[in-house]
Structure 1
Amino acid sequence: MSTSITPGRRESGRDYRQFLPLVQGATLIEWTGTGLFLAVSTIYFVKVAHLSTSSVGIGLTIGGATALFAALPIARLAERFGPKSVLIGVMLLRSLATIGYLWVDGWWSFLLVVSLVAVTEQSSPALVQAYVGARAPDSLRARVMAVQRTVVNLGISLGGLIAGVALGSGSHGAFRPLLIGGAVAYVIVAAVFATARDEGSAGSVGTTGVRQLLKDWRLLGFITYNALVSLWMPVLNVAFPLWLVTATEVPERYVGILYAVNTVLCIALQYPLNRCSNTTRRAWLSYATAAALLSCGALAFAAAPGFGTRGALLTMGGAVVLLTFAELLQVGASWTLSFDLAPEGARSAYLVLFNTSRTVANRVAGPVLMTGVVLALGKAGWIALACVLLAGAFVPLAALRGARRAGTALPAERADERKARTGR
């Protein structure tokens, strides 16, 4: 369904130029605050909060599951009050939850705080995307999101650098200013959005509600498929470093170097590669390509232990590059198609529900799949994952072919291509 802005609310050129720096500035502040604690969170949980690694893993998984259940009430709030108002509340709650880490003194308090953080972290990107959808012209939405994700990576990198410097002394007290800094950042983001012009209530147009969305097989199928192709997240964050350390002779320090390769490529290429998925057809093809690249990356990981140190490093590096391009294509395609499929009258609710696919991949099913199946089976696990992902690469092709046979794809594709060429 089309997601064009309601007549009478389309941004003028001047309004749009004012809106863009507001969103990107808020994004930089938000993710710099997130980066302050993201890279060192596990160290804090184990060495300062004195939790075991297994209890941390269980708590993070339960927190992710909590975020899934919280998606429905947040979607309803976003549908009723609009993305901006809910986003402000989410940021304030995220600030309180971040400060709450300072008082974690056991597993139950950790579970409470990490669940609140998971809920707010899941909700924030979807609400920002919905806000962009309400303010940006149709032809520029995916571009704005591409710039926004570049800023996200810059913010995480900046926050990580600050955290590295702050923790250089090895003092446990260095965590306190990092957590306070993150909490302050979220309050600032809430204040920035509070000063922005209201985009209107999401529930003020259209009649589609959350219950109708939950009965929409396209949404449910899209969530499932996006979760599959979003497995690059647990592969990169869980399976890759553990596989490098346990299955190859590559020194551990190369984990950070290969992560840096991923970050630099994301910053440099997210916006240029946006044109690969700026129409409906291109977005589906980007999904297919991303799944195929992930499959090749899994095979490269499987092959790496069979080489010497240098050969394994090069193979692992190649696998990380494949994962990075898959990440860039999948993320870009998800913006275009989620905007394209979202009903105008329930865009905010739709995007919040759709974003649960990333939570499933990154926080709930993904880590368990990586540690309990892929790494447990070794090479056979990587090969099995590659086969599943390769099969997933044919899903978008089948969808496009089915749409053509039904006679629904060609007009939409022509309109998409015309919009991409003219910018309107």
Structure 2
Amino acid sequence: MTGQRRLTNLLKRIPGGPDGRRMLLVTFVDRVGSGLWAATAVLYFTYAVGLTTAQIGLLLAVSGAIGIAGPPLGGLLADRVPLRPLLVFVQAVRASASLALLTTADLRLLLVIQAVGSLGDRASSVLTKLYATRVAGPDRARYQAINRTVSNSGWAVGGLAAAAALTVGTVAVYRWLLVGDALSFVASALLTLRCAEPPSHSRVVTHTAPAPKTDPESEPEPGFEPDTDPGSDPAPGSDPAPARAAAPTRAPNPWRDRRYLAYTASEIVLFLDDSVFKIGLPLWAVTATSAPHQLVPLLLVLNNVLVVLFQVPLARFGATPHAARNTLRPLAVAFLTGGAALAASVVHAPWAATAALVVAATAFTVAEMLHATVSWELSVALAPPTAQGAYLGVHGLAQAAQRSAGPLVVTAAIASGPLGWLGFGAGLAVVCGAQRHLVQDRGDGALSVPPVTVSEH
């Protein structure tokens, strides 16, 4: 009974109520499927489809480039249509794309199918973040931290399941893992249907008393409101003057918001920790240090374990916009420490190289967690409440752009040797300082987000 009581209390502490908990389950199921496919994609295209290495590279590069349009497109739609059915639709698109890959070996068709799936993948991440922003309200930083922990757990489960299945090594297994990926999206769509539509600032419907019937020619045009200034009331007994039309307000446009675009550009740099773990750290460890090669997978495990253990506790550093802004200082220190540790790992003694790599992996993991919580908060705080979808969609481009530019940046750091990593860490620290100046509250309310209290009817 004590265990059940603790579990119940833990669930009650998750922001967003029942819908927040259901969306965490959606995230877990989604990521299990993504973990299955991430471990299988290259093998499937190689052995089940028969593509060459060059063709696989072309397929993934082109579809990834097209998928960059997913975040802004998804965010834009989320400000105009209900979010829950949009999420369901995107999950259905992802499931359909996964299953469609099983139907053809033609490279041109595979390009189209993979591009559609990439659009859905990138859009779903922004839509899920937007749902959390709306349903968790002021506790969005803590919710996103829990969501990231659940996401990492789902990836781990999917990757382990794929690793176990791949020991069989048959083409049929590759196909069934792809089917499992598609079924995870179907399950995510069905679970999303059980969630309620979250409140939204961008789509407000209010109830008003029925207006008296008037001559159609005197009715105000849609999008205009009559002048309600008491000083403009007509004299008693006189004919009411025609309602004076007010200019319609235009929704904020993130593409015209120079401050938000500059913030998003700085985010591309700060997301480089992803490329450090995927490319930089493994490649540097095996080519430039005396550490044993077996250390590389252990460093990746260390990264995953630290995120699962500490991402939620570190969420308090992004609990408010001002806390998030102040966290950019320790984030700069973490980046600088990681770069310096990688530079120091070229020592000849294997034990010293190993220790330096462990310090580097820990520092970059701390940077990853701190930046995650800072980014979640500031990307919302800098966005007008009535256009959060469009703004978060533009912010989603930062990660997409980093996936393209990141490998080039970290390989350039590797080619430059220890000084390259020192410059890498120092450069990221400088960008942290620049971003802190960029997002400072200048008295215009840019870092003050009103609570979500809008209800829809």
The TM-score bracket by the shorter chain reads: 0.7 to 0.9
Question: SS of 2:345's equivalent?
Answer: helix
Sort the Cα spacing of 1:46 and 1:299 in 2 relative to 1 into closer, same or farther, 3 A: farther
1:21 maps to which residue? 21
CA contact (8 A) 2:382 2:447 kept: no
The change in CA–CA distance for 1:62 and 1:377 in structure 2 (over 3 A counts) is: farther
Q: TM-score, normalised by structure 1?
A: 0.84
Q: Is the Cα–Cα contact under 8 Å of residues 80 and 201 in structure 1 kept in the other structure?
A: no
CA distance in 1, matches of 2:303, 2:285: 16
| 2:288 corresponds to 1:247 | yes
| Unaligned ranges ≥5, structure 1 | 1-12, 417-424
Contact 2:335 2:426 in 1 (8 A): no
The DSSP-based 3-state class of the residue aligned with 2:195 is: coil
Alignment pair present for 1:163 and 2:162: yes
Hey, what does 1:9 align to over in structure 2?
none
Please give the alpha-carbon distance, in whole angstroms, between the structure 1 residues aligned to 2:435 and 2:327. Answer: 9
Partner of 1:365: 405
Shift of residue 386, structure 1, vs aligned partner = 2.2
- Structure having the higher helix fraction is 1
CA contact (8 A) 2:88 2:189 kept: yes
* Mean CA deviation greater in 307-316 or 266-275: 307-316
How far off is 1:293 after superposition?
1.4
Return the alpha-carbon distance in structure 2 between the equivalents of residues 39 and 284 of structure 1.
37
Determine helix, strand or coil for the equivalent of 2:387.
Answer: helix
Q: Which residue of 1 aligns with 2:42?
A: 42
SS at match of 1:393: helix
Matches within 5 A, 1:177-326: 177-199=176-198, 203-205=202-204, 209=251, 212-326=253-367
Q: Give the match's secondary structure for 2:413.
A: helix
Q: Conserved in 2, the CA contact under 8 Å of 1:82 and 1:203?
A: no
CA deviations over 1:7-28 (Å, ceiling 9, x no partner): xxxxxx9994321221111111
What does the per-residue CA deviation read over 1:276-335, in whole Å, with 9 as the maximum and x for residues that have no partner?
Answer: 111112212223432331232122223223333222222111111111110110111111
Q: Do 2:40 and 2:177's aligned partners in 1 also have CA atoms closer than 8 Å?
A: no
Larger Rg: 2
Instruction: Say whether 1:374 aligns with 2:406.
Output: no
Asked whether the 8 Å contact 2:70–2:123 carries over to 1, the reply is no
Offset at residue 178 of structure 1 (A):
1.2
SS at match of 1:355: helix
Q: How do 1:38-187 residues align onto structure 2 when only pairs under 5 Å count?
A: 38-53=38-53, 55-103=55-103, 105=105, 107-136=107-136, 138-187=137-186
Contact 2:76 2:393 in 1 (8 A): no
Q: How many positions carry a matched residue from both structures?
A: 396
Secondary structure, counterpart of 1:81 in structure 2: coil
The 10-residue stretch of structure 1 (228-237 or 171-180) with the greater mean CA deviation from structure 2: 171-180
Runs (5+) with no aligned partner, structure 2: 1-12, 206-248, 451-457
Q: CA deviation at 1:188?
A: 1.0
Q: Select between 151-160 and 378-387 the one with higher mean Cα deviation.
A: 378-387
Confirm whether residue 355 of structure 1 aligns to residue 396 of structure 2. yes
Q: Deviations over 1:140-172 (max 9, x none)?
A: 221111111110011011111111111122333
Is the 2:44–2:175 contact (alpha carbons within 8 Å) kept by the matching residues of 1? no
Contact kept? 1:64, 1:360, Cα under 8 Å: no
CA RMSD after TM alignment: 2.9
**Structure 1 residues 208 and 287, CA gap change in structure 2 (3 angstroms):** farther
Residue 230 of structure 1: CA displacement?
A: 0.6
> Per-residue deviation at 1:254?
2.3
